[in-house]
């Protein structure tokens, strides 16, 4: 069976832990979109890890980790990540890389940095990992596919076209050094040698695995509200964050995705710019939640940037679950709220004097003011509890209130960063 694990919010929902946990009973874990621009934090028997390109199931000996065709493949970063795991005592994971994946090049990272620099205060808050320039090139048809690494004639022709276009922009828009075709070819030869042993027809591999009844996890990056079509455009990422895209980014039929586990955070957080209705604007209050949140504070796993903090947003989370097609929800980082005597929950948006429950387009979102309902807190530590009925009553009420608001059954509750700190309902 194919299961997709995706986020309902702005990213950073705790998908890595859920993938790591469900990976125990899976055969194959697939990254199907995004690149090294966001991280998944994993805490297990080997230690604490921040993964960026590798799927979060790499810690099991029985799993195969797959980089799908939809991923922005930073080849040296991938192998740096693999080597880092091995150095920390993790058995070398079994890796497959799609021959249809496209390669994130060093100039993509430079263009990302140059554009953010040019935009100044109007920048998008990019992680400067080259993601937007990479996907721009992919759809402009000047991206480099892994399969093309093995044909020098194709590479040289592609490089000539890339340099012709990029050097005009570098020279006249950014006033930066131009690309050298020979240097690019040498870089691509290095990438070819690194990735060659792992390249395969991932789509064919997965179709065969489905025939054999293997358990497959599709792991998404970021969340619904960062999707370029359905999120808070333009402050979004550059590839689809939705479970539906898992079929495209992995190369399998859409009807094979039977289960969509959507991860929802028990409060809200966001990295980068963009509309964020339930944001906590009192910095003292925000910092208190930030330092208690996540697995060691709410700071970006890739950038280290402090995340913007907010209360649970039922409007955004319900929409996030709907657009993902959630069949069930994993509610995460609930334990972080134990210090609060009262917990506000955003249940509606007031826009031009009218309270709405449906998540609006960005232009209307900019006008939205949160409508809060305040729930009593449980004011105690719940870490270590593994049975639902042993949670404090107010904690159960909070979970059930969220479940009613989002309209999807909450089947798992995470009350700590470790793999074992989970409650099944």
Q: Is 313 a catalytic residue?
A: no
Are 69 and 323 within 8 A, CB to CB?
no
CA distances to 88, 140, 248, 304 from 102, in Å: 29, 13, 14, 27
Residue 211 CB neighbour total at 10 angstroms: 8
DSSP-derived secondary structure letter, 123: -
**Which position among 12, 99, 112, 227 bears the catalytic label?**
12
199: its two tokens: 């390249």
Residue 61 CB neighbour total at 10 angstroms: 9
Secondary structure class of 354 (helix, strand, coil): strand
**Which position among 20, 27, 40, 108 bears the catalytic label?**
40
Residue 4 CB neighbour total at 10 angstroms: 28
204: its two tokens: 């064919």
Q: How many residues are present in the chain? A: 425
Are 43 and 332 within 8 A, CB to CB?
no
Angle at 391 between CA 388 and CA 393, to 5 degrees: 115
For residue 354, give every residue at least 6 positions away whose Cβ sits within 8 Å of its Cβ, in sequence order, or none.
Answer: none
Residue 279 to residue 269: CA distance in whole angstroms? 8
* Burial (CB count <10 Å: 0-12, 13-18, 19+), residue 246: buried
Go through 335-358 and write b for each residue having 16 or more CB atoms within 10 A of its CB, e for each that does not: bbbbebeebbbbbbbebeeeeeee
Are 136 and 169 within 8 A, CB to CB?
no
Q: Which of 152, 155, 184 is nearest to 167 (CA)?
A: 184
Q: Is 40 a catalytic residue?
A: yes
DSSP string across 151-200: -HHHHHHHHHHHHHHHHHHIIIII--PPP-HHHHHHHHHHHHHHHGGGEE
Helices (H) and strands (E) in the chain, counts: 12, 20
Residue 143 CB neighbour total at 10 angstroms: 21
Residues with catalytic function:
12, 40
């Amino acid at each position: 069976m194919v299961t997709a694990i995706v986020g309902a919010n702005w990213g950073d929902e705790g998908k890595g832990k859920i993938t790591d946990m469900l990976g125990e009973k899976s055969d194959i874990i697939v990254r199907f979109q995004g690149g090294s621009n966001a991280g998944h934090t994993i805490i297990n028997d080997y230690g604490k890890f921040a993964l960026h390109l590798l799927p979060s199931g790499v810690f099991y000996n029985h799993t195969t980790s797959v980089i799908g065709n939809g991923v922005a493949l930073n080849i040296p970063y991938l192998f740096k990540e693999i080597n880092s795991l091995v150095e920390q005592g993790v058995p070398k994971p079994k890796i497959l890389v799609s021959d249809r994946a496209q390669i994130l090049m060093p100039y993509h990272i430079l263009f990302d940095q140059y554009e953010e620099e040019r935009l100044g205060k109007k920048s998008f808050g990019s992680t400067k990992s080259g993601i937007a320039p990479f996907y721009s090139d992919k759809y402009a048809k000047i991206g480099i596919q892994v399969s093309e690494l093995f044909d020098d004639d194709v590479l040289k022709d592609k490089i000539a076209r890339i340099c012709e276009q990029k050097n005009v922009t570098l020279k006249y828009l950014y006033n930066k050094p131009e690309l050298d075709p020979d240097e690019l070819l040498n870089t691509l030869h290095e990438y070819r040698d690194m990735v060659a042993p792992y390249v395969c027809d991932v789509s064919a591999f997965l179709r065969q695995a489905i025939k054999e009844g293997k358990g497959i996890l599709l792991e998404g990056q970021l969340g619904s509200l960062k999707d370029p079509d359905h999120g808070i455009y333009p402050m979004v990422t550059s590839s689809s964050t939705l479970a539906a895209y898992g079929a495209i980014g992995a190369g399998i039929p859409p009807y094979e995705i039977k289960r969509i586990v959507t991860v929802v955070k028990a409060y809200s957080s966001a990295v980068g710019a963009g509309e964020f209705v339930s944001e906590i604007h009192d910095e003292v209050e925000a910092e208190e939640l930030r330092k208690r949140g996540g697995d060691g504070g709410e700071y970006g796993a890739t950038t280290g940037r402090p995340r913007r903090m907010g209360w649970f947003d039922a409007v955004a989370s319900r929409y996030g679950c709907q657009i993902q097609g959630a069949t069930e929800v994993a509610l995460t980082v609930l334990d972080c709220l134990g210090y609060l005597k009262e917990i506000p929950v955003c249940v509606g948006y007031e826009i031009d004097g009218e309270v709405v429950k449906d998540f609006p387009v960005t232009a209307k979102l900019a006008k939205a003011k949160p409508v809060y309902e305040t729930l009593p807190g449980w004011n105690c530590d719940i870490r270590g509890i593994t049975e639902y009925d042993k949670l404090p009553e107010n904690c159960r009420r909070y979970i059930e209130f969220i479940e009613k608001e989002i309209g999807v059954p909450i089947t798992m509750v995470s009350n700590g960063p470790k793999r074992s700190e989970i409650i099944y309902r």
